[in-house]
Structure 1
């Protein structure tokens, strides 16, 4: 087997991996760098099949372009991942058009992708000429999977984005596989651990209660997929109204159509049912009249209804904004978190409400990643989807692993 790293090596974003066997050509993910709109190296034509680990655009955002360039087979992925991917792709296309950017694909290309997709359930193998493919639960967001390819005994695992810890929304990743020739693993946080989830949830509730009892509004900018649903579960029992705004509404509906995708399905269904869905500008104004919790997109403040709430509440000292996800440098959220200033859409203001960050990461931390590699004990390790992966590979070598941090465009044989 030959592995060609097309994107996501020594960087986060635009992840794509091309795997060649004697008889097949497989593409694993085909994403885009959201901030800089950088794309992966384009794969060689005549792809046998494309596998998608999860819906996030840094893994899925360029898939329709394959159809624009003549790909005529399917995208193999978890059924929920496919649903969520289409939601994000259509939204991405609309955002690009609003910005006046030339899109890489059209609505027609997305529809062709939808028509040809191949839903795969976890642990159900699919046979090709010489290769068996299988998905495993990855614990990152609902629907996320690791991809296992077995070619005549050569077994390669691509973790995708992965989380081994249980949360209120999901169980940790399934790692029950053996005799692995190579692991291509995400390494986003190879350098640090995350705080215990239960401790974070407790801190979040305490901060929210403090704001609410002081007559203020709690703003929770959240990623539509995964974080919105986790916030719903954590905030549901505080005794104050919970408002749900933005794309998280649609994402939650899709997730609830796949009960197997989450751990606390009944609790999530109840929390979603109890939440007040914001549909109009009038609804948004109502949400601000009494102390309440507002869960809304966008998680990094780049667009979405969160900007309406910030503009309305920036003079209110008794309110709070709590960011629960990583803020990419260059985003509105990153600027606010590091300077205390909200700089967006011609505004440059210093909000009076409190600003907090809590590390509710959906990626594995350092210790969990190392424990995973020790358990699986692959013959080779290729860390991707991270910065300073060369340093991490050196550490892994010192621990006895045959590790190598690849470059984009590099090919390796196993």
Structure 2
């Protein structure tokens, strides 16, 4: 009987990681995610510091790694895994592999830059230097271990372990992972939802329903509620943009470079095509997001038919035609120049939870201005700067300065790329015979609500594991 160990994204939304071990010694790692955000409320060390703690397994003894999608909370420690001796294959969908190169190389550059910056301060204090979590060379090593798998294809990833990727509808290349475990003449089936997409999201297809499993791991990011209707959210966004234009302020939108930014460009393009976009310029201040746009276009066949046909119907198959007022910035100087713009601009920049990146500098220059509007289109994890702002902090610390929060803050409930509670229940409800169900990738209070809803609606008791728990498959 195989064993599954819950390592990361257990009662939290970052650091996704699970270890599958069979009786004859095969070890397959499902996800290798980075922890993001902060823990505690008194200036404690970054949750990210836990990314340096030893893996609870020997990377050299792993036979395979299987990845659901490219977001760093699912993939971000792959370079460190390779650095510490893992030499085996990393299986992911074809488009995920393309995005993975973008994500990991960018992360490695940031790791090197952050270590360089930190060491400047440490040298002044007489402290020893720190090394980056991993380097560009480490990321390149991990990327060379990628193995591309198309949706619906079944591959042998290790002795007795077969994997099939199904469309999860979350971001480009995102997958529901189905693992078949063949041991001693019997077959057991583990299904990992990955991050399930919202059926209201643009561009992505509806998550593939599955019906057979012995054990299901279900994400629960929004297990406590349903998302607001997408059309209502679009009306709210249009109203915010008009108010900002009337009041003479900028609109800042913290956004993840992969997934959320492409959704926003699609929606702003719709506004532009329909004559409902009052601003004269939209800045995409994220070279990474611009490169992600190109990868999305390279895999246009994965885009939902209805959205692809809508764009074709307007005669705007390319981003430049769809949203011609979009401007992308590449250099740091171009980014800093945006801080001289006092009104009339929409600025989309990373990171999505304001834990770093160019959005932090734009917040420093706009957050204290009452006429400016900050729009949060997605989930803000506990301990992040974005969560502090959303929760109503009067001041926040940005780049070693205390900044007053005077701008108008908006959270949009219909833009999430994650399934809401009803969508989660609908998807997992397709499984026959109620397999063992474990809730992962969610904050504890949201898991508790989802567990109650599953009991009420499906008469199905879900389990909430603790970090380090092991179960038999």
Establish whether TM, by shorter chain, passes 0.5.
yes
Instruction: Name the structure 2 match of 1:42.
Output: 56
Q: Give the whole-Å Cα distance in 2 for the aligned partners of 1:121 and 1:274.
A: 35
Q: Give the whole-Å Cα distance in 2 for the aligned partners of 1:367 and 1:170.
A: 18
Q: Give the whole-Å Cα distance in 2 for the aligned partners of 1:327 and 1:11.
A: 12
Does residue 1:403 correspond to 2:403, yes or no?
no
Instruction: Name the structure 2 match of 1:124.
Output: 153
CA separation of 1:46/1:192 partners in 2, compared to 1, >3 Å: closer, same or farther?
same
Q: Give the whole-Å Cα distance in 1 for the aligned partners of 2:459 and 2:162.
A: 29
**Structure 2, unaligned runs of 5 or more:** 38-46, 119-129, 312-316
1:140-219 aligned at under 5 Å gives the runs 140-152=170-182, 153-175=187-209, 177-219=210-252
Q: Give the whole-Å Cα distance in 2 for the aligned partners of 1:66 and 1:192.
A: 35
CA separation of 1:79/1:210 partners in 2, compared to 1, >3 Å: closer, same or farther?
same
Instruction: Name the structure 2 match of 1:18.
Output: 19
Matched residue SS, 1:183: strand
Does residue 1:244 correspond to 2:284, yes or no?
yes
Give 2:440's match in structure 1, choosing from 381, 384, 389. Answer: 384
Is the Cα–Cα contact under 8 Å of residues 380 and 401 in structure 1 kept in the other structure? no
CA separation of 1:328/1:395 partners in 2, compared to 1, >3 Å: closer, same or farther?
closer
Task: Measure how far apart 1:386 and its partner are.
Answer: 1.6
Q: Give the whole-Å Cα distance in 2 for the aligned partners of 1:339 and 1:390.
A: 27
Matched residue SS, 2:233: helix
Deviations along 1:364-413, one digit per CA (max 9) or x if unpaired, are: 11111112222224411111112224665466456432532222222211
CA separation of 1:207/1:115 partners in 2, compared to 1, >3 Å: closer, same or farther?
same
Does residue 1:80 correspond to 2:103, yes or no?
no
Moved more, 292-301 or 33-42: 33-42
TM-score (norm 2): 0.80
Q: CA RMSD in A?
A: 2.6
CA separation of 1:123/1:292 partners in 2, compared to 1, >3 Å: closer, same or farther?
same
Instruction: Name the structure 2 match of 1:103.
Output: 132
Matched residue SS, 2:397: strand
Task: Measure how far apart 1:41 and its partner are.
Answer: 4.6
Q: Give the whole-Å Cα distance in 2 for the aligned partners of 1:68 and 1:76.
A: 18
Moved more, 2-11 or 110-119: 2-11
CA separation of 1:392/1:303 partners in 2, compared to 1, >3 Å: closer, same or farther?
closer
Instruction: Name the structure 1 match of 2:350.
Output: 297
Instruction: Name the structure 2 match of 1:255.
Output: 296
Moved more, 324-333 or 59-68: 324-333
Instruction: Name the structure 1 match of 2:373.
Output: 320
Deviations along 1:242-261, one digit per CA (max 9) or x if unpaired, are: 22112322222222222134
CA separation of 1:84/1:15 partners in 2, compared to 1, >3 Å: closer, same or farther?
same
**Structure 1, unaligned runs of 5 or more:** none
CA separation of 1:26/1:314 partners in 2, compared to 1, >3 Å: closer, same or farther?
closer
Between the two proteins, the alignment pairs up a number of residues equal to 413
Is the Cα–Cα contact under 8 Å of residues 379 and 401 in structure 1 kept in the other structure? no
Deviations along 1:169-191, one digit per CA (max 9) or x if unpaired, are: 3222111x222111111112222
Moved more, 113-122 or 287-296: 287-296
Moved more, 370-379 or 279-288: 279-288
Instruction: Name the structure 1 match of 2:4.
Output: 3
CA separation of 1:313/1:18 partners in 2, compared to 1, >3 Å: closer, same or farther?
closer
Task: Measure how far apart 1:30 and its partner are.
Answer: 1.0
Is the Cα–Cα contact under 8 Å of residues 336 and 343 in structure 1 kept in the other structure? no
Matched residue SS, 1:334: helix
Is the Cα–Cα contact under 8 Å of residues 111 and 134 in structure 2 kept in the other structure? no
Q: Give the whole-Å Cα distance in 2 for the aligned partners of 1:394 and 1:290.
A: 47
CA separation of 1:213/1:405 partners in 2, compared to 1, >3 Å: closer, same or farther?
same
Give 2:416's match in structure 1, choosing from 341, 361, 368. Answer: 361
Instruction: Name the structure 2 match of 1:133.
Output: 163
Is the Cα–Cα contact under 8 Å of residues 367 and 405 in structure 2 kept in the other structure? yes
1:281-296 aligned at under 5 Å gives the runs 281-282=333-334, 285=337, 288=341, 291-296=344-349
